[in-house]
């Protein structure tokens, strides 16, 4: 092989950079610049007029992280993720396995199960708001007790679970579609081989299905966790972060409605940047912890 001349390589590099430029400009304008700006804004305290005369420096991140508001919101967010992600995954996998059959009319069920993916957070939240309504909602009549007085969304003990129910329902379509795609890529020979060898349905599920769809389960886990940490719409529409901040997640804290962060863009940026690092660490932990159990085929 002959070595290419430096001039030729330089010309190719220039062409490559030119072709990358549109993506680079968009990435720079809408991702990198706002992130860097937020990191620096997070060092300041701002007035409601938008002026930021006070510089707290990097210590502001440490102070914010140690504040009970941030700690409480972090705990609420973790609880929220621990409720929504496992239950959402189990339900999504369950529905996908149920619908992964060649039966007459199964397409109707697949459409129903995946329909929530086309439902906006606002619509889903309003629907659940009415379901949870202590005076008009169906659930209040069925469950009674706390569901009627003060209401599932109004009781500090149940509000997070109620918001989680809405989130799980809204995410179910996504999980269903991803897992269904994973199931359809599992060779049927593997099931037949296990069947002839004497494996029952549960053994086939644990020894064939779960390992074979592990990449999509990892993907769904990471996405659902990120969604849980970024949830805002359902909380704003269902509980406004209450009652008693029991549903104030990190994103809602960053938004700051009715909270000390509301009027201070600097503090909001601090919380946002901290949330970014929390998510980054979480994603790394998930990949490191779960990837060993994931099989990517061959």
* Contact set with other proteins (CB under 8 A): 187, 189-190, 192-200, 203, 207-208, 211-212, 214, 295, 297-298
Kindly give, in sequence order, each residue whose CB lies less than 8 Å from that of residue 230, ignoring residues fewer than 6 positions away.
Answer: 251, 279
Pick 68 or 189: Cβ nearer other proteins: 189
Q: How far apart are CB 194 and other proteins at their closest, in Å?
A: 7
CA pair distance 150, 147, nearest whole angstrom: 7
Pick 150 or 211: Cβ nearer other proteins: 211
Q: How far apart are CB 218 and other proteins at their closest, in Å?
A: 13
Pick 55 or 193: Cβ nearer other proteins: 193
Q: How far apart are CB 291 and other proteins at their closest, in Å?
A: 13
Pick 24 or 289: Cβ nearer other proteins: 289
Q: How far apart are CB 295 and other proteins at their closest, in Å?
A: 4
Q: How far apart are CB 192 and other proteins at their closest, in Å?
A: 6
Residue 138's closest CA among 125, 120, 150, 151?
Answer: 151
Pick 23 or 189: Cβ nearer other proteins: 189
Q: How many residues appear in the chain?
A: 298
């Amino acid at each position: 092989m002959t070595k290419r001349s430096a001039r030729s390589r330089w010309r190719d590099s220039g062409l490559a950079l030119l072709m990358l430029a549109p993506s680079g400009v968009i990435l720079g304008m809408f991702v990198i610049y706002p992130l860097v700006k937020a990191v620096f804004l997070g060092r300041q305290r701002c007035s409601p007029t938008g002026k930021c005369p006070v510089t707290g420096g990097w210590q502001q991140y440490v102070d914010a992280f140690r504040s009970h508001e941030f700690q409480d919101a972090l705990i609420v967010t973790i609880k929220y993720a621990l409720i929504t992600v496992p239950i959402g995954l189990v339900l999504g996998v369950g529905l996908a396995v149920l619908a992964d059959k060649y039966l007459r009319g199964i397409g109707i069920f697949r459409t129903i199960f995946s329909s929530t993916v086309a439902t906006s957070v606002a619509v889903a939240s309003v629907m659940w708001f009415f379901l949870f309504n202590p005076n008009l909602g169906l659930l209040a009549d069925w469950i009674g007790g706390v569901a009627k007085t003060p209401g599932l969304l109004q009781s500090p003990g149940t509000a997070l679970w109620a918001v989680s129910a809405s989130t799980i329902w809204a995410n179910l379509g996504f999980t269903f579609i991803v897992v269904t795609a994973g199931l359809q890529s599992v060779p049927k020979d593997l099931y037949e081989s296990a069947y002839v060898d004497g494996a029952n349905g549960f053994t086939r599920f644990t020894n064939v299905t779960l390992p074979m769809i592990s990449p999509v389960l990892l993907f769904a886990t990471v996405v659902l966790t990120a969604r849980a940490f970024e949830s805002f719409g359902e909380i704003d529409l269902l509980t406004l972060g209450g009652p008693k901040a029991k549903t104030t997640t990190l994103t809602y804290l960053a938004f700051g409605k009715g909270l000390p962060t509301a009027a201070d863009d600097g503090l909001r940026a601090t919380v946002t940047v901290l949330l970014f690092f929390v998510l980054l660490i979480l994603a790394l932990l998930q990949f490191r912890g779960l990837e060993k159990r994931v099989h990517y085929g061959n």
